[in-house]
Structure 1
């Protein structure tokens, strides 16, 4: 994520930033935050407890933080610049006071989003291409450790971002004691070697080349695995069909991820060679926010179970309400017959409830 400076740009650049960074990032990001909150409410249900959903929970938290940091870094400064130029008002420079803290968080969340998507792709690869081994590898506990590992790696990789900017105070009038505080880039941020190696080349390797290459290869391998499985089986079980649905959903997530992050990669390559592309940078920032905002639409498109539980959350139904409804429909206790009939019906209903509940906890997100 890059902050494009437009304070000294022509009027058309200011207007373009207002539309892209101001309105579009704010609108899409707000929808994304609401959607990710609903994703968390659904995925945190006990019936959704499995490895892939644990990774999706981590991704939802990361996406929320990424969108919030984008609001502070892009939307607020865009409105500030427009108001200052349009109405000649002196507005507090939000960007100046928040950059030393929000900018590192934005970079951490962007890195975490990239590698969390990569982790999800690798998990689906194991399930589709190595199903027997995946049963012991892809556990809920290991998924939680993967989430924490991604967060620790992302924070460690971007820890120097906290040292790139600082506040400098200058004395304007010693007699009156008037001082002014400005945001200044530190010596580290101005170091040519640091810029060349860390900001440009390492970013290109760890944020573009490595994840993009692995995601592309994993997607191809998953697609090939699905094709082989369909050719070898004339009939597939419900669980196998669910795994295929999840794999296809993952392929869509990866495709959208690559499409939304490619402009950012191009923008950073251009900056590496000192080629300015302000509008491309702003569009790439918008696409990164868009990528973090559409998860709920992908889940609801490919997962019947997610849609059903989302409706429960929306209508504030208890998790067991849907199970009880299906239990009654499949032969729950008959409360209007004689005692023997009620006993037989209740026993049969208990067996149905047990089977239904067990199946409910075994299904994954796409059931």
Structure 2
């Protein structure tokens, strides 16, 4: 997954090309008084180091890892037993992430020596189209992330509507629409550049250079296209992802709290069963389904969080350059170019990192991976999982049995105490009744005596 990042790529591309085409005049330029400006050596060293380590070493490495991981994801997510509306989105996301990684690697060749020689004419001929595919893949990945986040929100918060709305056929249609719109937005990119031959007097060689075309140099076009890209692929997606991801996190928290409340009667029933017999109990199917849905939601939340972390620096840079005129003759211009390399690498990590999240957070993904690519390990892993589950069941049963025994002994003590108090209470009642009878008899005898005395006097 990448960001609307193609925009940052285009920006740094333009800076790099201006640097190469103008004999380093982008770095060693002139100020308004005609004096030569040279950025500090520290900034120039930072730019050269970022180019070497990121573009020549880390980008190829992450491209290989990400291509393998995304290929595995595509194979797994398109298996019949794995098909669902969410997995269709994740498979499409893996496709466009892989395209982004491949063409980012292709674009990184421009930092190699002698890349401007005439023998690399076809590289520069295809270069604008590589930028277009890189931008289109980036933009598509953004809106696929937004789409499956909204879909997951509907499925979690409105399950009845989700069964109607969140279907596989609708997911495929939405993926196609996102692809058409996002790639259609990048169609003008190849027309923004021109390839020319230029003679360098210093080296006495004819080299190739890529310069902005009349369309790419048009100030109105650049302003409108830039702000459309920032709004459509930075502001709106980040806002939607932040809002709906917050709702999903809240729903997972409420679901867990509700599940804990609902499982308390089940734990009490299990305790009673353990005290009366040695039979085992299993979790209700509804509870298992709820846990599975919660795991899927957590996995998607992790994907979105990784996206936001890796794309936030790019978004901040684009917003900063929107309100500040960057002069390449200053230290800030060189610094932004160096940071652009680092931020592009973060986007490459984002494109390659989803495979790791799937492996860590999805049991079903891991099982399908073992069945598809490591069938020889399937039996061993299943035995280990079975032993682990049996150990957990035994541990849970033992703890529940101990708790139930403690509860039973406490209950027995309570019953004994209550019985004693009940006997005492009954004795007190009987004694009080006897005393009342004696008092009444005494009163009656006194009354009889008084009557007899009155009769005698009369």
From 248, 251, 269, give the equivalent of 2:319: 269
> What does residue 105 of structure 2 align with?
71
SS state of the match for residue 195, structure 2?
A: strand
From 279, 295, 307, give the equivalent of 2:338: 279
Q: Does residue 213 of structure 2 align to residue 186 of structure 1?
A: yes
Counterparts of 1:263 and 1:30 in 2: how far apart (Å)? 24
User: Offset of 1:227 from its aligned partner?
Assistant: 2.4
Counterparts of 2:90 and 2:80 in 1: how far apart (Å)? 14
After superposition, give the CA deviation of every residue in 1:228-262 in whole Å (9 maximum; x if it has no partner).
Answer: 33334423611111111111111111111011111
> What does residue 300 of structure 2 align with?
250
Equivalent runs, 1:218-233 vs 2, <5 Å: 218-233=244-259
**Kept after mapping to 1: 8 A contact 2:195/2:210:** yes
User: Offset of 1:166 from its aligned partner?
Assistant: 2.5
SS state of the match for residue 188, structure 2?
A: helix
Equivalent runs, 1:1-367 vs 2, <5 Å: 1=6, 2=9, 3=13, 5=16, 7=20, 8=24, 10=44, 12-74=46-108, 76-78=109-111, 80-81=112-113, 92=120, 96-168=124-196, 182-199=209-226, 201-233=227-259, 234-235=262-263, 237-272=287-322, 273-275=324-326, 276=333, 277-315=336-374
Counterparts of 1:94 and 1:270 in 2: how far apart (Å)? 35
User: Offset of 1:95 from its aligned partner?
Assistant: 6.0
After superposition, give the CA deviation of every residue in 1:55-85 in whole Å (9 maximum; x if it has no partner).
Answer: 11110110110001100112x222x14x78x
After superposition, give the CA deviation of every residue in 1:278-337 in whole Å (9 maximum; x if it has no partner).
Answer: 1111111101111000111100111111101111222257xxx98xx99xx9xxxxxxxx
User: Offset of 1:92 from its aligned partner?
Assistant: 3.7
Counterparts of 1:207 and 1:270 in 2: how far apart (Å)? 15
TM-score by length of 2: 0.63
> What does residue 340 of structure 1 align with?
none
Question: CA separation of 1:152/1:295 partners in 2, compared to 1, >3 Å: closer, same or farther?
Answer: same
Counterparts of 2:105 and 2:110 in 1: how far apart (Å)? 9
**Kept after mapping to 1: 8 A contact 2:46/2:338:** no
**Kept after mapping to 2: 8 A contact 1:69/1:106:** yes
User: Offset of 1:50 from its aligned partner?
Assistant: 0.9
Counterparts of 1:217 and 1:278 in 2: how far apart (Å)? 32
**Kept after mapping to 2: 8 A contact 1:77/1:94:** no
Counterparts of 1:238 and 1:110 in 2: how far apart (Å)? 36
Larger radius of gyration: 2
Question: CA separation of 1:154/1:230 partners in 2, compared to 1, >3 Å: closer, same or farther?
Answer: same
Counterparts of 1:125 and 1:288 in 2: how far apart (Å)? 25
**Kept after mapping to 1: 8 A contact 2:65/2:352:** yes
SS state of the match for residue 294, structure 1?
A: helix
